[in-house]
Amino acid sequence: MDPLSALRDFTIRGEVDKIVRVNDEFRFGTEYSFPCSAETAYRSKQGNLYNLETQVFYIQNHHLKHTDYMHNSLARRIPAVTFTDRKPLLDYLTGKVSTSDSIVWNPPKFPDEFRPDPSGFDPDSAKPKEIEIADYMGIIRSVEKPLKDREGILECKNKDFYSVIVAATKREEERQRLESQQRKDGLVAKSRLMGAEEGGLGLSYGDDMMGYDSKPKMHLKGSKLGEGVPIILVPSAFQTLITIYNVKEFLEDGVFVPTDVKVKQMKGARPECVTPEDWDRVVAVFVLGKEWQFKDWPFKDHVEIFNKIIGFFMRFEDDSVESCKIVKQWNVKIISISKNKRHQDRAAALEAWDRLEEFVRGRSHS
């Protein structure tokens, strides 16, 4: 007799309690014995054959709510009967129906009858064993039926992923736009802070002896600086990182744009320049690190220059020490930036603003 027929026979006879587990097999009284893992002829709607252990546990617990039954089966690491199979299987096992479309009559062959020796039967060993730790994922995988692998999904027909790419691209562009705006807002807020009513400061950028007019809204008030818009002197020579061409993007947007790239973008145009007639308005200078930069300046030496004007020297962080050997002898602030990590430019720009603010406020009260 096969396991399914034996289980149905004992269920109809009301002798399910006589089905006991002994190690890795079920004993049906003294009549039959089958392996717990033996597949039966009953196929689930998912396509797999239920084994004997699943069906015995179900018929012994069919009175439970489905959620309680599932919890108990998972705790014992026993594959469960699905919700849709519960009633049809119960009707067949209890004899309410004589057959079922789910039955496939080609089960493994078992001996017609096996009668264990009653004298060697140990009642204590017949008690079902509980397992404290359940491998939930293992139980779920045991009843999984793969439909497609990842390669099969990507090769699916009549599917167009263009809209997905477009949506992802738009999200990335929006993210970059917001980050750029946040950087700019932070630096603008910093410059506005320096331009507050008490000792307010608006800035123009100068090309050594020539100045770039940024049309600031605020002018210096109540300080010992020369009247008018304070000026930052910036080299026009390409030998330094910050020039008259890219200083605006660096200080106001927090982004370093190489001078050659900026010149190409401007297509030969040059920033509008004005002549700084009053040296008392000059508050800062980006230095080249060359002595000739200060030729014809109205100061007697470097000590006087950098007592009245704060100096900045920009360099790449991995440049050699020799690149700033001369500058280290002057009272200037060396600011390092990365060659490739543009997201770090904002911190360098804010550092320049902080030093400039500190210097201007100290100069205003001296």
Q: Residue 55 has what pLDDT?
A: 92
Q: Decide the pairing of beta strands 282-286 and 273-274.
A: unpaired
Instruction: Show pLDDT as tens, one digit a residue, over the chain (366 residues).
Output: 788 989 999 999 999 999 999 999 999 988 889 999 999 989 888 888 999 999 999 999 999 988 888 888 888 899 999 888 999 999 999 999 988 888 887 644 544 445 555 555 555 555 555 444 557 777 777 777 777 666 666 666 666 667 778 888 888 888 877 766 665 555 555 444 444 333 334 455 555 544 433 333 333 333 345 566 788 888 877 778 998 888 888 988 889 999 889 888 888 777 665 557 678 888 899 998 888 888 888 888 888 999 999 999 999 988 887 778 888 889 999 999 999 998 889 889 989 988 988 888 887 666
Q: Which pLDDT does position 219 carry in this prediction?
A: 33
Q: How far apart are CA 116 and CA 355, in angstroms?
A: 94
Q: In degrees rounded to 5, what are phi and psi of residue 312?
A: -120, 140
What pLDDT is stored for residue 26 in this prediction?
A: 92
Give the C-alpha separation, 35 to 37, whole Å: 5
pLDDT of residue 50: 92
Spatial separation of the C-alpha atoms in residues 127 and 125, rounded to whole Å? 6
Give the domains, in start order, of the chain with CATH numbers.
3-94 (no CATH), 231-364 (3.40.50.11990)
| pLDDT recorded at residue 195 | 40
- In the structure encoding, which two tokens stand for residue 256, read together? 């370093």
Quote the pLDDT of residue 194. Answer: 42
pLDDT score of 112: 45
Q: How far is it, in rounded angstroms, from Cα 308 to Cα 331? A: 11
- CA-based Rg of the chain, rounded to a whole angstrom? 43
pLDDT of residue 61: 92
Q: What is the pLDDT of residue 83?
A: 87
Q: What is the average pLDDT score of the chain?
A: 77
| HEC string for 151-219 | HHHHCCCCCCCHHHHHHHHHHHHHHHHHHHHHHHHHHHHHHHHHCCCCCCCCCEEEECCEEECCCCCCC
> What does the pLDDT read at residue 115?
53
